[in-house]
Amino acid sequence: MRKGQRTFAPKAKNAAQANLQKKLSAQLTAGTEKRLAARAGHLELLAGGKKDTKGDKEKEKEKTKAK
């Protein structure tokens, strides 16, 4: 026997609220991952760590020199 659907689509009344909740929770998750990556920058599993930000700063310096 198969299991049913895990999440149910919101009714029309709550659709806008559910969409906003989904957006806000995604932003919260992204921010949390970014902060964790900044602390554990040596880990390559998380994007946005020390290695990534170092590369971004070097690219910006090259752009300013080119102008």
| Predicted confidence (pLDDT) per residue in 3-60, tens digit | 776 777 777 778 888 888 889 999 898 888 888 877 776 666 556 655 566 666 677 7
Q: What is the pLDDT of residue 38?
A: 76
Kindly tell me the burial class for residue 48, based on how many C-beta atoms sit within 10 Å of its own C-beta (0-12, 13-18, 19 or more): middle
> What is the structure's pLDDT at 25?
92
Find how far residue 12's CA is from the centre of its chain: 28
How far is it, in rounded angstroms, from Cα 63 to Cα 51?
19
Q: Is pTM, for the whole model, over 0.85? A: no
